A and B are shown apart, each in its own frame.
Chain A
Amino acid sequence: MKRRGVPIDFEEGLAVTCLALLVAITLLNVVTRYLTAQSFAWTEEISIFLMVVMTLAGAGAAAARDRHIRIEFFYEGGSAKRRRTLRIVACCVTGMLFAALALLSARMVADELRWGETTMGLGVPRWWYTIAIPLLSAAVAARCLALAWRTARTEPGA
């Protein structure tokens, strides 16, 4: 099937970069702790941020491939028509959930911006980190709705 639109490599590459950075930071922490008996406590905040980004970016890639954990008993069984319907329903529900979360988290970021909240560890503005949440949630929503749209346009049983 010919794929159009934004290639999935974008979210995938982002998730892989986050994981690689997490490994590098953690490894560096172990090494420096043994060599200098000091640890970078401030990296904790960055690691947590990278985990959040990896989760949401990976969620988008998994949504585009329809690989999220689910109960497959009814989803993978039955007629082709039922499978198609359930797939569209699942994509729409997931898409709408992440669209709502994108909206709500945008509001959360706006509040943080307005109150000038800073982080505990590094004291940088919190929204530097949290801005990723609405953007990536919106990307997950777009992936889900795009898959629903593509599924809806194929003939049942095709």
Chain B
Amino acid sequence: MIGATLFALFTVLMLAGVPIAAALGVGGMVAIALANPDTQWFGLLAAPQNMEAGVSKYPLLALPMFVLVGSIFDRAGVAQRMVNFALACVGRSPGMLPLVAIAVAMVLGGISGSGPANAAAVGAVMIAAMSRAGYPAPFSASIVGAAAATDILIPPSIAFIVYSVNVPGASVPALFAAGVFPGLLAGLALMVPAVWLSRRRGYGGRERDLPRPPFWHSLREASWGLVAPVLILGGMRAGWFTPTEAAVVAVAYGLFVGLAVHRTICWRDLYGIFREAAEVSAVIMTVMALAGIFAYSVNTLGMADPLVQAVQAAGLNSTGALAALLVIGLIVGMFLDGVSIFLIFLPLLYPLMMVYRWDPVWFGVLLTMVVAIGQFTPPMAVNLLVACRLAGVRIEQTLPHVGWLVLGFVAAALLVAAFPLLALWLPSSMGF
């Protein structure tokens, strides 16, 4: 009964547009108060403690650091240079520019950790370039929105950091390693329909005969940016850094590249960059803090038990339950960002994971994949919204294009669901 009240209140508040953080906090506190009518202060003294505990986790320090890395590389001008280099490699025939957009989004995904920031960085460079080459703006927006969704799979990923601090048995390095192949697979699964659609519909032939950028020169220009993911991932792989330290090294490296090498950042911009990163991190961490209260009430009131019993009573086997959860994740992902989804549902999903003995790392990757699909599926997709805003199109106009990209990404997710080794081989062979 109290559980139903908690979720009903929480859902109504959220739909009304109350910030997700506040909806989680209010729902959690009302449930605690209803459950403890006779305790001193209705047991609510647990609320500030759990709020503090929600963000007082040392591994969480990686989150603001990677957000900062994203804002620095956003302004460091690496995206344009990577695009030039990629064009030097593949040329300008129809379908190549979307391919480049996806590849660059994936490399940037290896630097920053959040999808909307990636969509903004890639969109700022690619959407104008694609429209010059004769791609329709809604198509370009769909490509950029979908490509940026690979970001939360390709390490470093903010979503994985949040998952890890909330799920015992899934360490950040293990999740990061597990995301590599599914992320590459997802990128490939987007490239195939992107190239196929452009060829079939005759998009992007206008600049076919322009010369390619010179290979060695563009490689040298792009190399500063291309080294960043190698430094971050390689440094963690080699055991030089923890994820947090890798992030802070990337901060220093990005500032060096922006201030001294490309000279795209000047000292006066630093305050703005730090302010943006501090605010974005604070907004995410506010959700985490207040989700701490929500999770406490879900756990202490034993609200996950009826759910687990209901799923088992429905007679679903492991595959059926997994399929149902992933479909729910996909739908919810269309309305909410990945981090909020993890914080709301993990207290409920963790007991199910235990019952069915799913590998927490593999399940985290799968859940992240379906959530990523939701991030560019209309009508409420965050990444697609950013890309549409940059392209100056309405989200409905992307419908003829984005469906194919969704299909591609779903196929990649199904492959990872069917063959868990795609995710788990790398972390196990690296010994995480």
A-side interface residues toward B, CB under 8 Å? 12, 15-16, 18-20, 22-23, 26-27, 29-30, 44, 47-48, 51-52, 54-59, 61-62, 67-76, 86-87, 89-90, 93-94, 97, 100-101, 104-105, 107-108, 111, 130, 133
Contacts and interface: CB of A to CB of B under 8 A. Distances in A.
Contact of B20 (A47, A71, A111): A71
Contact of B15 (A74, A76, A111, A130): A74
Contacts of B44: 100, 104
A74 B26 contact: no
Contact of B278 (A18, A29, A48): A18
A89 B26 CA distance: 13
A68 B339 CA distance: 13
B179 to A, nearest CB: 22
Nearest to A49: B56
B25 A101 contact: yes
B289 A94 contact: no
Given A73-B335, A93-B22, 17 more contacts: A15-B275, A19-B278, A22-B65, A23-B248, A30-B248, A54-B64, A55-B289, A58-B283, A61-B279, A71-B14, A71-B17, A73-B379, A74-B16, A90-B19, A93-B26, A104-B45, A105-B51
Contacts of B49: 108
A67 B17 CA distance: 12
Nearest to B336: A71
Contacts of B241: 30
A78 to B, nearest CB: 10
Nearest to B247: A26
Q: Is the interface of A mostly helix, strand, loop or mixed?
A: helix
B48 A59 contact: no
B226 interface: no
Interface in B254-308: 271, 274-275, 277-279, 281-287, 289-290
Contacts of B233: none
Contact of A97 (B26, B52, B278): B26
Contact of B48 (A20, A62, A75, A104): A104
The 5 closest A-B pairs by CB, nearest first: A58-B282, A75-B17, A68-B19, A105-B48, A15-B278
B282 A59 contact: yes
A16 B336 CA distance: 27
Given A52-B56, A69-B287, A71-B335, A62 B22 contact: no
B402 interface: no
Contacts of B287: 69
A30 to B, nearest CB: 5
Contacts of B26: 93, 97
24 contacts: A15-B279, A19-B68, A27-B249, A27-B252, A44-B58, A55-B286, A59-B21, A62-B283, A62-B286, A69-B20, A69-B287, A70-B19, A71-B335, A71-B380, A73-B379, A93-B22, A93-B23, A94-B18, A97-B290, A101-B48, A101-B51, A104-B45, A105-B52, A133-B52
A97 B68 CA distance: 29
Contacts of B248: 23, 26-27, 30
Contacts of A101: 25, 47-48, 51
Interface residues of B, number: 59
Contacts of A130: 52
Contacts of B335: 71, 73
Given A93-B26, A104-B41, A51 B60 contact: yes
Contacts of B279: 12, 15, 58, 61-62, 67
A16 B52 contact: no
Contacts of B21: 59, 68-69, 94
B74 interface: no
A23 to B, nearest CB: 6
A12 B47 contact: no
Contacts of A27: 248-249, 251-252
Q: Which of B14, B19, B56 has the most CB of A within 10 A?
A: B19
Contacts of A133: 48, 51-52
A62 B44 CA distance: 26
A58 B278 contact: yes
B151 interface: no
A58 B286 contact: yes
A150 to B, nearest CB: 17
Nearest to B44: A104
Contacts of A93: 13, 18, 22-23, 26
B68 A69 contact: no
A22 B15 contact: no
Contacts of A67: 279, 283
